Each structure stands twice: as C-alpha cells, then as structure tokens.
Amino acid sequence: MQCALKFACSAAPPSSASIAPLLFSNTHNKKKKLRNGCSIRAELSDDNDPLLQAAINSASLRFHETHRQDPLFIDPYAGCFVSTHTQMDMETKAKQYCIATKFIDDKLLSTVNHMDGLKQVVLLSDGMDTRPYRLNWPSSTIMFDISPLRVFQKAAEKLDGVGAKIPQRCLFLHVPLETPNIQETLVTKGFNGTRPSVWAIQVKNGYPDAC
C-alpha cells in the first residue's frame, strides 16, 4: 500500500483548479455512451459507489487500530461506519495508514495550538473524517471539510446517531467536493484568507483518505 501525505500551512486558500487534481473526480451518475449513439446513466448505490466504499474501508482500518492492545490512536466513531460484512487484509494495509493518521493528528494539533485567535483547519477528506469529533481542538477552531456530499451526508447521519459532538467553542462546516468554485464557497462559509490556515490531505492508493 502506498500512502502519501500532503500537509501545508497557508495564509490564503489555493484555487479550485489546484484543489481538484488532489481529489477524486465526481463519479456519481456517470454516463456511458453506447455504439448506437445513445447513452445510459448509471445510478450509484451504497454497494457500487467507489468513493463510499473507499471511505468505509479506511474507517475499517481505524476501527481495527482502535481495538489493538497498544493502538497508535483511538477513533471511537469508526465503528459506526463499518459493516459486519466488511473484510480487509488488515495486516498489510493498516500499518502505514495508521502511522500516517497518527502523524497528521499530531501535526494538526501542534500547528493550531501555536496559532493566535481564530484557528482555521481545512481537511480534504473522503467524507468520513472523524478528526473534527475525536481530536481535542482548542477554542476558536473552525474546521472546513471538503469531501463528496453523498458520503459526508451518510457519515453525518451515522455520527449523529452515536452522539458525536465537536469540542465546545469550535465550528465545523462542510464544502461539497462537487461545488463548482470551492474557493468561493469556502469564503462564503467564513474562511478568512487574510489569516493563517492549515490544510491536510491523506492519500491512500490514489484516493484522498481521511481518518
């Protein structure tokens, strides 16, 4: 398994054009052209949505790590995403992924704790990132999650069902990956380009992935 990390601090948001290549393309409702010139539209379900399945697979790795005898981190919410039918080769996939997860967790908290005033965090995720809920964020932290809307909505329902809450005096906002202008949407939701911000993306097997 290959796991690449991209981590940056910035005083201004990158353009949508620079964000898009880092993220997976929108695969919902793909059209397939037939030989006779007609086209059909493939509707994605939970079972055949590759973005949803990738997010669930990553949650499975976090769930597995959480229940080890000496875990690198604890994700108390990963279990709400994991199906009892999910089967993965944990031994070969978990190690690098979980080391990367621990590194990003620590780096994010270390960075924001050295920021004065408003602390801005942008997570480019798979939609099932539990960091806003499971990390001990300082007061005045505002977190933006850029991820596929369908996956994020399903994750939000699951998290709400288990009573997950972000820390007090913090704010968590979602920016759909499908948004035509991500930079503009970030600003509309309150992102301040004149203040420092920290951006994080965790990539696994070619797909952005979060924990």
> Mind spelling out the 3-state secondary structure of 156-188?
HHHHHHCCCCCCCCCEEEEEECCCCCHHHHHHH
Amino acid of residue 196: P
The pTM score is 0.78
Mean pLDDT over each residue of the chain, to the nearest integer: 82
User: How confident is the model over 171-181, as a mean pLDDT?
Assistant: 96
State the pLDDT at residue 34. 47
* pLDDT interval class at 49 (50, 70, 90): confident
Fold of 3-21+50-209: Rossmann fold (3.40.50)
Record the tokens describing residue 103, joined without a space. 């590194």
**How many Cβ atoms sit within 10 Å of the Cβ of residue 89?**
8
What's the pLDDT tens digit per position in 101-153? Answer: 999 999 999 999 999 999 999 999 999 999 999 999 999 999 999 999 999 99
Q: Are 164 and 77 in contact (CB under 8 A)?
A: yes
Burial classification of residue 186, based on how many CB atoms lie within 10 Å of its CB (0-12 exposed, 13-18 middle, 19 or more buried): buried
Q: Give the 3-state DSSP-derived string for the chain, with helices as H, strands as E and coil as C.
A: CCEEEEEEEECCCCCHHHHHHHCCCCCCCEEEECCCCCEEEECCCCCCCHHHHHHHHHHHHHHHHHCCCCCCCCCCCHHHCCCCCCCCCHHHHHHHHHHHHHHHHHHHHHHHCCCCCCEEEEEECCCCCCHHHHCCCCCCEEEEEEECHHHHHHHHHHHHHCCCCCCCCCEEEEEECCCCCHHHHHHHCCCCCCCCEEEEEEEECCEEECC
